[in-house]
Amino acid sequence: MMGSAIRRIAVLGSTGSIGTSTLDVVAAHPERLSVVALAAGRNRELFLRQCERFRPACVSVRDVEDAKWLRSTLSYGPEIHSGPEGLLACALHSEGNTVVAAVVGAAGLQSTEAALRSGRRVCVANKESLVMGGALMRAAMEAGGGELLPVDSEHAALHQLLNGRDPLSIREVRITASGGPFREWDMARIQAATREEALNHPTWKMGPKITIDSSTLMNKGLEVIEASVLFGLAVDQIAVTVHPQSQVHAMVGFRDGTYQLQVSANDMKLPIQYTLLYPEKLSGPVPSYDWDNSRSWTFEAPDLERFPCLGLAYAALRSGGTAPAILNAANEIAVAAFLDGRIGFWDIQACNSEVLAHLPSEPAASLEAVLAADRNARDNARSWIALK
Ligand SMILES: NC(=O)c1ccc[n+]([C@@H]2O[C@H](COP(=O)([O-])OP(=O)(O)OC[C@H]3O[C@@H](n4cnc5c(N)ncnc54)[C@H](OP(=O)(O)O)[C@@H]3O)[C@@H](O)[C@H]2O)c1
**Cβ neighbours for 292, distance < 8 A, ≥ 6 positions apart:** none
Per-residue pLDDT averaged across 215-228, rounded?
Answer: 98
How far does residue 254's CA lie from ligand 1's centre (Å)?
Answer: 35
Residue 232 pLDDT greater than 80, yes or no: yes
Whole-structure pTM value: 0.96
Q: How far is CA 275 from the centre of its chain?
A: 13
Percent of the chain whose predicted confidence (pLDDT) is above 90: 95
Residue 215 pLDDT greater than 90, yes or no: yes
- Computed on alpha carbons and rounded to an integer, the radius of gyration of the chain in Å comes to 20
pLDDT digits 0-9 by tens, 81-114:
999 999 999 999 999 999 999 999 999 999 999 9
Please state which of the ranges 48-62, 175-189, 201-215, 339-353 shows the lowest mean pLDDT. Answer: 201-215
Atom of ligand 1 nearest to the CA of 18: 16
Q: Using CA atoms in the order 193, 196, 199, 200, what is the torsion angle rounded to 10 degrees?
A: -90
Q: Is the CB of 180 under 6 A from ligand 1?
A: no
Instruction: Note the pLDDT of residue 181.
Output: 97
Q: Is the CB of 17 under 6 A from ligand 1?
A: yes
Instruction: Note the pLDDT of residue 202.
Output: 87
Q: Ligand 1: which of 11, 12, 14, 18 to mutate, most ligand atoms within 8 Å of CB?
A: 18
How far does residue 21's CA lie from ligand 1's centre (Å)?
Answer: 11
Q: Is the CB of 242 under 6 A from ligand 1?
A: no
Per-residue pLDDT averaged across 256-274, rounded?
Answer: 97
Kindly report the CATH number that applies to the domain delimited by 320-388. Answer: 1.10.1740.10
Q: Is the CB of 159 under 6 A from ligand 1?
A: no
**Cβ neighbours for 279, distance < 8 A, ≥ 6 positions apart:** 2, 3
Q: Kind of pairing, strands 238-242 and 147-150? A: unpaired
| Closest residue by Cα to residue 335 from 217, 213, 197 | 213
The angle at the Cα of 160, spanning 159 to 163, to the nearest 5 degrees, equals 75
Per-residue pLDDT averaged across 366-383, rounded?
Answer: 97
How far, in Å, CA of 251 to CA of 261, rounded?
Answer: 4
Atom of ligand 1 nearest to the CA of 87: 33
Residue 278 pLDDT greater than 70, yes or no: yes
Average pLDDT, the chain: 96
Residue 3 pLDDT greater than 60, yes or no: no
How far, in Å, CA of 40 to CA of 49, rounded?
Answer: 12
The angle at the Cα of 371, spanning 365 to 376, to the nearest 5 degrees, equals 115
Kindly report the CATH number that applies to the domain delimited by 2-151. Answer: 3.40.50.720
Q: Ligand 1: which of 11, 14, 17, 21 to mutate, most ligand atoms within 8 Å of CB?
A: 17
Instruction: Note the pLDDT of residue 1.
Output: 40
Q: Is the CB of 268 under 6 A from ligand 1?
A: yes
- Residue 5 pLDDT level (bands cut at 50, 70, 90): confident
Atom of ligand 1 nearest to the CA of 129: 45
Instruction: Note the pLDDT of residue 87.
Output: 98
Instruction: Note the pLDDT of residue 304.
Output: 98
How far, in Å, CA of 175 to CA of 242, rounded?
Answer: 9
Q: Is the CB of 42 under 6 A from ligand 1?
A: yes
Per-residue pLDDT averaged across 154-174, rounded?
Answer: 96
Q: For the chain, give every residue range classified as CATH 3.40.50.720.
A: 2-151
Instruction: Note the pLDDT of residue 204.
Output: 81
pLDDT digits 0-9 by tens, 313-358:
999 999 999 999 999 999 999 999 999 999 999 999 999 999 999 9
Instruction: Note the pLDDT of residue 284.
Output: 81
Q: Is the CB of 131 under 6 A from ligand 1?
A: no
How far does residue 206's CA lie from ligand 1's centre (Å)?
Answer: 9
Q: Is the CB of 127 under 6 A from ligand 1?
A: yes
pLDDT digits 0-9 by tens, 117-156:
999 999 999 999 999 999 999 999 999 999 999 999 999 9
Partners of 240 in the beta sheet?
A: 175
Reduced to 3 states (helix: H, G, I; strand: E, B; else coil), residue 188 is: helix
Residue 368 pLDDT greater than 90, yes or no: yes
Instruction: Note the pLDDT of residue 205.
Output: 85
Q: For the chain, give every residue range classified as CATH 1.10.1740.10.
A: 320-388
At 345, give phi and psi (nearest 5°). -60, -45
